Amino acid sequence: MIRDLLKWVVPGLATVLGGTTLCLAMTAADIADDLATRSAAAMAAGGYDWAELSLDARDLKLTGTTTDQARLNSAIARLSALAGVRSVTSEVTLAPMARPYALVASVDQGVLDLAGAVPDDTTRQRLLRLAGLEQAGLDLRSGMPDRRIWVSGAEFAIDQLQYFDQGEAVLSDLTVSLDGRAKSERAFRDLLIVMRAGAPAGVTLGDVNIVPALVSPYQWNASFDGKRIDISGFVPEDSLAERYRTADVSGAQVATGLTLGSGEPTGFADLSQNLIEQLARLEYGTASITDGQSTLAGAPATLDIAQGIVDTLEPSGTIVVLEPPRIDDYWMSATRQPGGVVVFDGYVPDEATREAFGQRDGADTSYLKLGRGTPERYRSGADFGLDALELMSEGRIALRDNVLTITGTARSGGDYDALLAMVAAGAPQGLVLARAEILAPRAAAWSWSVTKDATGAVALAGLVPDAADAMSLVTKVGNRATNTMTYASGDPDGFIASAETALELLQWLRDGSVTYDGLSWTVAGTANSAIDKGAIEADFVSRQLAAAGWSMAVALPPPVIPQIAPYTWSATRTADGVSLMGHAPNQSFKSYLAVHAGESVVDATELGLGAPDGFVAAATAGLDAVLALDEGEIAFDGANWSLSGRAPSEAQRDAVLTALAAATDSSGWSVDIAAPPPEPVATTPYIWSATKAADGAVTFSGLVPVQSLQRFLVVRAGGNVSDETTIDPTAPPGFANDVLAALGAMAALSEGSASFDGTAWAVSGTLASADAAAAVDAAIAAANTPAAGWILTLAGPPEPAVAPVAETPAEPEPVVEPEPALEPEPAPVAVNPDYAFSVSRAADTAVLSGQVPSDPALRYFAAVSGGDVAALSVADGAPETFLPSAETGLRALLYLTEGQLDFSRGVWSLRGVAADAAARDAVLAAIAADPGEADWTTAIDLPPPPEPAPPPAPVAPVLVDISACAAPIAEFSARNSILFQSGAALIAAESDAALDELVLDLKACPDAVVHIEGHTDADGDETLNLALSVARAEAVVNALVSRGVTPARLYAVGYGEAAPIADNDTAQGKRLNRRIVVTVRPEHY
């Protein structure tokens, strides 16, 4: 039974006990859950949301924070009243209410901090552990919202601080707000992920302001390849990417690879967009921002675009580095100026090229501009041209694309050859030398000559512009030419044509030369024959070379001169003159001896070779010695010289022998000169006088110092002169000027006298006209002796300008100062279009009026015309050819019986009445030969036919026909063919041919009066120039007489420097002023 009991009871008991235990266990859990549910419901129903419950079986523990004990007691009572609650334990903290219930969690550079309200210490410790802090400013406060949700929100807020390097998270009630800067790019991305996931359940996200991580340096970059803009680097916000894509980029694609980052400089967004828009205006380029500095670099298409970009970015302080703009017309030039400065212009590809050009001597590269699009051969072409420019004194090179031009003047002959070699070799490969005009070095003074010797050999020398011109001239000469010409620039206008003319004229010469001295051309030499001499003279005239400033002196070929042995010669002087016998070595010396021997000479010498050495010097000195004797003879018998004769005094004999010894070696001569014993020295004063009769006849008496002055006074006094003066060289100082002034004063008298008694000058007589007193005063004003030292006794109307002097000297008259010499004008005077000049001639009087360019010209015209010049004034503004044309017109007017010469508005006119057709033709011929080549209008009438049975008229001067010789002689004078040795009155040997030509011209009108005028330039003393001009005119007269021209028809007049026809300030003007003027008058001698 027990066994059965055990069999059945034990299992059953176990079953009952196990089921009961299981039932009890299951019931306890349900009871606890139920109790917890009811407790929470009770607290919620009572509004005790601040409380937190915990259940241990049926024991409840109440925690949390509330504001007062009553509420706590009420909560405990409510919980205690619940069925199944065994006990209620309170751990509630009583604290002030917080509204809102806020917790602030902050971080700064990795340091966290907490502040705000917590419901209890447990929660405080929980949050401190989460933040890694031991303490913080957390205060217990009541009023917390749902505890569980609030705590999860607090933990969420604290947890986000791990992503910030500075910022804060604020939990206000159940809303979390975040504000701060991410500590890294990854942290920023993680924050964005968390924000997208949201806050814990029940917690609301409030304001979220998360700044990307701080970047340093803050870099932003953009590049443009002409199609697409790639942007990389940092931006503070994503919206900028879209802003970049919608910027004004002219249709370019925009690609971004940007990273968010803070720390951007001020104005970053606007600045970066501006950089992108300016970048798009370039052909290519880059832009960047690094911290606060922005840059833009690239290539603009034009200068306008470049300037626009600079102007746009300048306010932002952006550094703009732009490549030069692209230049479609790419060129450069360099010009070497006369001072050595080389001015560059155009374009260079870069600064290095500009600096390289600047290293060249004298370089000024300030005008060079940078530009892209450089031609492929730019540098080699520029260097080639600049190397050429280094060899020039002035010039220019220009390079456009691959075309090079070079022009300029070489520095020297060697540089000229080097330049020609460069041009011949050509420009570097790939370049075209389109133009190369290289001039030889500029000559300071241009000269050229061609010379032909007796063998026919021709030598060319001097300057030519280039090798081509030199070859052309050499080719014209032929194989016998010797060429020493060198190259130079600065050749006169028409030089090559003139040189070719010179070569053509050379064919007529047996030997000779044609030279150019920089001012004029001169042809000199000996013709092949008489026919060729005529041919070259005709050629000279037909080419109008005289008008072009050429001069020519061509001689006939000398006759065949026999060899003479023994060689004899003699000169014998008697009271009747000089006889020359024997032989002379050449025609020029023969002519010289004949002229030098004086007017009464019989020349029976013949030309002959074989003269011994020193013959010319000995014969000249011997003839001078004979001429100084009263009578005598110089002779050479082929071996020995002998001199005999009679001298006027022993002193004269000694002077002759001294002069002879000084001129030649006379130690071996046979000399026999007789001389009377010396006479007592005269004690009479040096006197001179001139008397003028009512009929105009003038008688000279007394002493004059030299023969040339004696002759000049005779010529100056006119045709009806009796000269009883003798030569005495002991005249007082200034005698020549005073005697000329006295003669000039006497010319104003109808009759009277002028005299010098050894101490004082006196003029007395009857004035010729009302104006004569002024003429007397003017003449005396030019004297050496002051006007106060002259005794004037003048009668006739008007009253004399100076009161007559009786026994006592007159009060001193005011000294009339000589007119000052004209100073050369510093610069050419402009031509006055209203410049006017006129001369009226009626009967034997002439009246001049208007303007002339100088006082010497005024005096010259007064002397030539013998007219009244009171209405004539000196004024600037005359045309360049005024003087020669005025002289031509004035001389032509003198051929007329009456007439009018006018110059107005640049045109000359001559009208009047000629004595007959021959005189009219002579006048027209003279006008046609005007050396001034002026425009002329002429109206020359003939007198009406005589009335029948006219009453007897006074016999007029016999007129002669000069139509056959007027024009040739005028042309001869214009050619200025008679040349003299420098500073002397000796005619140069090469002028013999010209004198022979003049003799032939004069034979065409053998009865006409001929005036030979001598003129000089203004160099040297005026008095000496006057004497030189007189002596030269007399030398020409003597030369013509020796050639058979009748002496009575020849008049020699010297004007010195008083009648220039050109400017004496230039070499060309001086050459024109040094001249012999030959004029023929229609009057019988």
Q: Is the pLDDT of residue 190 over 60?
A: yes
Least confident of 510-519, 604-613, 850-859: 850-859
**Start-end of H helices in 179-297:** 185-197, 239-245, 268-279
Mean pLDDT score, 595-607: 86
Query: Residues 934, 967: one domain?
Result: no
**991 DSSP 8-state letter:** G
Residue 809 forms part of a structural domain: no
Count of domains observed in the chain? 9
The chain-wide mean pLDDT, for the chain, equals 85
Q: Is the pLDDT of residue 328 over 70?
A: yes
- What does pTM read for this prediction? 0.38
Q: Is the pLDDT of residue 84 over 70?
A: yes
Residue written as tokens 């008397």? Answer: 691
Greater pLDDT, 301 or 388 = 388
Residue 507 forms part of a structural domain: yes
Number of H helices, E strands in the chain: 27, 50
Least confident of 639-643, 746-750, 927-931: 927-931
Q: Cα(1000)–Cα(1028) distance, rounded to whole angstroms?
A: 27
Q: What is the pLDDT of residues 256-295, one digit of tens each?
A: 988 888 888 999 999 999 999 999 999 899 999 998 899 9
Residue 821 forms part of a structural domain: no
Mean pLDDT score, 525-536: 88
> Which pLDDT score, from 0 to 100, does residue 955 have?
52
Q: What is the pLDDT of residues 145-181, one digit of tens each?
A: 888 899 999 999 999 999 998 999 999 999 999 999 9
Q: Is the pLDDT of residue 938 over 50?
A: yes
Query: Residues 633, 515: one domain?
Result: no
Please give the single-letter amino acid code of residue 1043. Answer: R
Query: Residues 343, 300: one domain?
Result: no
Q: What is the pLDDT of residues 724-782, one digit of tens each?
A: 999 888 888 888 888 888 888 888 888 999 999 888 999 999 988 877 888 888 788 77
> Which pLDDT score, from 0 to 100, does residue 682 have?
43
Query: Residues 250, 232: one domain?
Result: yes
Q: Which of 94, 116, 150 is the last residue of a domain?
A: 94
* Residue in 279, 219, 272, 288 with CA at minimum distance from that of residue 253: 279
* Residue in 651, 579, 677, 662 with CA at minimum distance from that of residue 618: 662
Q: Is the pLDDT of residue 312 over 90?
A: yes
Total Cβ atoms within 10 A of residue 453: 12
Q: What is the pLDDT of residues 554-600, one digit of tens each?
A: 888 877 788 999 999 999 999 888 999 999 988 878 888 888 888 78
> Which pLDDT score, from 0 to 100, does residue 787 have?
84
Share of the chain above pLDDT 90, in %: 33
Residue 356 forms part of a structural domain: yes
> Which pLDDT score, from 0 to 100, does residue 215 have?
87
CATH number at residue 639: 3.40.1520.20
Q: What is the pLDDT of residues 1029-1064, one digit of tens each?
A: 888 999 999 999 999 999 889 998 989 888 898 888
Total Cβ atoms within 10 A of residue 431: 22
> Which pLDDT score, from 0 to 100, does residue 804 have?
42
Q: CA 895 → CA 16, 180, 861, 884, 928, distances in Å? A: 190, 125, 15, 17, 15
| Beta strand ranges found along 242-316 (DSSP E) | 253-260, 284-290, 293-299
**341 DSSP 8-state letter:** -
Name, in order, each residue with C-beta under 8 angstroms of 711's C-beta and a sequence gap of 6 or more.
Answer: 1030, 1034, 1052
Greater pLDDT, 864 or 453 = 453
Query: Residues 311, 376: one domain?
Result: no
> Which pLDDT score, from 0 to 100, does residue 622 have?
92
Question: How many residues belong to the chain?
Answer: 1085
Residue 810 forms part of a structural domain: no
Query: Residues 159, 118: one domain?
Result: yes
Dihedral pair phi/psi, residue 683, rounded to 5°: -110, 5
How wide is the angle at C-alpha 170 spanned by C-alphas 169 and 171, nearest 5°? 125
pLDDT band at 54 (very low <50, low <70, confident <90, very high): confident
> Which pLDDT score, from 0 to 100, does residue 818 have?
40
Q: Crossing angle, helix 351-358 and helix 378-389, to 10 degrees?
A: 10
- The token duo for 166 is 């500075």
Dihedral pair phi/psi, residue 571, rounded to 5°: -135, 125
> Which pLDDT score, from 0 to 100, does residue 831 have?
84
Q: What is the pLDDT of residues 397-432, one digit of tens each?
A: 999 989 999 999 998 888 998 999 999 998 899 899
Residue written as tokens 């007959």? Answer: 916
Q: What is the pLDDT of residues 228-237, one digit of tens each?
A: 999 999 999 8
Q: Cα(535)–Cα(83) distance, rounded to whole angstroms?
A: 170
For 405, the 3-state DSSP assignment is strand
Give kind and range of the element (H or E) at residue 69: helix 69-80
Is the Cβ–Cβ distance between 470 and 483 less than 8 Å? Answer: yes
Query: Residues 982, 1053: one domain?
Result: yes
Least confident of 54-63, 522-531, 926-935: 926-935
Residue 560 forms part of a structural domain: no
Mean pLDDT score, 635-652: 92
> Which pLDDT score, from 0 to 100, does residue 800 have?
45
Q: Is the pLDDT of residue 518 over 50?
A: yes
Domain that residue 519 falls in: 448-555
Residue 816 forms part of a structural domain: no
- The token duo for 622 is 């011997």
Greater pLDDT, 827 or 88 = 88
3-state secondary structure 390-435: CCEEEEEEEEECCEEEEEEEECCHHHHHHHHHHHHHCCCCCCEEEE
Query: Residues 477, 357: one domain?
Result: no
Q: CA 794 → CA 748, 765, 955, distances in Å? A: 11, 5, 33
Query: Residues 170, 207: one domain?
Result: yes
Q: Cα(27)–Cα(1030) distance, rounded to whole angstroms?
A: 175
Query: Residues 1056, 974: one domain?
Result: yes
Q: Is the pLDDT of residue 952 over 80?
A: no
Q: Which of 645, 674, 703 is the last residue of a domain?
A: 674
* Residue in 746, 737, 823, 750 with CA at minimum distance from that of residue 781: 737
Is the Cβ–Cβ distance between 627 and 578 less than 8 Å? Answer: yes
Q: Which of 211, 233, 262 is the last residue of a domain?
A: 211
Dihedral pair phi/psi, residue 374, rounded to 5°: -60, 130
Q: What is the pLDDT of residues 1008-1036, one digit of tens each?
A: 999 999 998 888 888 878 888 888 999 99
Query: Residues 312, 367: one domain?
Result: no
Q: Cα(725)–Cα(688) distance, rounded to whole angstroms?
A: 8
Mean pLDDT score, 49-65: 80
Query: Residues 1000, 1062: one domain?
Result: yes
Mean pLDDT score, 619-636: 92
Q: Tell whether the torsion through CA atoms of 253, 257, 262 and 265 is positive or negative.
A: negative
Least confident of 46-50, 466-470, 891-895, 1007-1011: 46-50
Cis peptide before 798 (omega within 30 of 0): yes
> Which pLDDT score, from 0 to 100, does residue 950 have?
57
Residue 803 forms part of a structural domain: no
